[in-house]
Structure 1
Amino acid sequence: MNDKKNLSAAFEDSREHLRGVAFRMLGSLSEAEDAVQEAWIRVSRADTEAVENLRGWLTTVTSRVCLDMLRSRKARAEDAVGERLPDIAPADTTNAEQEAVMADAVGLALLVVLETLEPAERLAFVLHDLFGVSFEEIAPIVGRSPVAARQLASRARRRVRGAPERDEAELARRRDLVTSLLVALRAGDVEGVVAVLDPDVVIHTQAHDGKPLEIRGARKWAKSAVAFTQRATLPLGAVEVALVDGHIGAIYAPKGRVARALKFTFERGVIARVDVFSDPAAVRALEIAAI
């Protein structure tokens, strides 16, 4: 009985850590909580007498559960090719707010890119790069050698980081410019939007009927963009600066799924062109990477 109580206490002490691991693996708070609960069911039935690093062992068990869930999810997605998969909605408002906070802490763009990885790649990257788990420990979870596990994480890392065209200083300047744009849009500040745009900025987007639409002029687009943002009442943490096809851009990704992406072209220290992608097929074709 005491051993059971000790195990239960240790698990509760590690619950937040395990939930953090599972959330980064699965990108959904409700699924992460399900994974942690399933992990508890497994560990409560196991013999822990020979376990030396209990926290590490609990992380391993939770990771195996998440890997099974990711593989099951991938299989369902492949079976549903051509169908529109339903959004995974949080159970209630409180859960939605918690998920938004966690997504904001992890990084929305990172979660979006993680969704594009193979299950084993995602697990190797999350455990090693985000939680410092060694490849020797990761290898048996994914059923590979330590060298192969390292390669999985390396491939994932390249996808996650992307390949910006400019140096880090230029990347930082452009990121700050786009951040200022997003802040102004959320605040309904037309003048703030205009301030980061070339007066003759060109916007390539889509009309309501899906046909290509070109808008010219900073003030004209600023007014329409602010109006759209105010109507949409964008959820907390759903918009973030990201690399879009190797260029500084922004993504709108409610529940971790990209619904709209913007790619920016810069000239003379301001935004000279904006390409807006909202068509699902066009969005899926983009390469999104975290900065």
Structure 2
Amino acid sequence: MRLGFLTHVQGRGDDLAETYRRAQELFVVADELGFDVGWVAQHHAPLQGGGLSSPWSFLAYAAARTRKIRLSTAITILPLEHPLRLAEDVAVVDTLSGGRVEIGVGSGSGPEEYAAFGVDVNRKRELTTEGLETLRRALAGATDFRIQPQPVSDFSDRIWQGVFSAAGARYAAASGTNLLLNRAAYGYDEPTDEVQRVWADEFLAAWDRPQRPRIGLSRFVFPAKDRKTAVAQVEDGLRRATEGFIARGDFPAGLGLDEYLRRFHAFVGHPDEIVAGLQREKVMPVATDLITQFNPGIPDFDAAVHALELIAKEVAPALGWSPAR
């Protein structure tokens, strides 16, 4: 299993420059702790406390500040990018980082972002399919226009797709990309891990390539010295995110904090509690990558650093992970 850390680049204040700088510092900390992959999420519309619109600029800077950690997106919103230009950005960061780049793509985003870019949201699946094919061929040097520089090494096993259904999982397998599973499955009565385990099984059953596929399991994980301390750090961000989910009709109103944590499929508390919860996780046995994130919580910087330390030193080792030499 590889260990990852995903940031949505959010902060507690209004100083976005400081939010971005601190997100970079978390990449440095994760690199020093031995995390295998650092992930960023692309959001064109502002998130509470920040949001990252240009992930490849961010990852280029992270590449210069880190030594070993791999760099990826979960996700880049493919229909809102020109796939050749995106391939050029990916190839530049891959070259500068010494071949440490991976890329997760998907259709993501809401109608307002598609409208802002002049793209028909009703074509997002079609555009994702077309864009993915162009992106893959460009990274392989198989397009009429050859991008420069060419990536350091083969990208065939370094592309991921975020999916939200069994049909999406089968599509990802048919296109030969790795599978990214979101922190929670919304709109289902069943627990997230039960729903997503079906998707993972569908993906594996449909896979027909010679290489072994990867399954990335993104989870809201925030350890602290005890549950009370952990909840205090994530509660404000959680409540504000919950308001958005209620407004969209994804969550019912009037529930308690513990129930909203359950709906976000959260693992929050003492490291031993988190380990026990992840050991019961039904997707973990088939996952190759555990991708931890604090979102929708927005802890302060020191608490975030401490949580990364606990994940790398107590949580992940209890699940069988160790830093690569």
Q: How does the TM-score come out when normalised to structure 2?
A: 0.26
Please identify which structure carries the higher helix content. 1
Task: Look at both structures and tell me which one has the larger radius of gyration over its CA atoms.
Answer: 1
Q: How does the TM-score come out when normalised to structure 1?
A: 0.29
Q: Which has the higher contact order (CA 8 A, sep 6+)?
A: 2
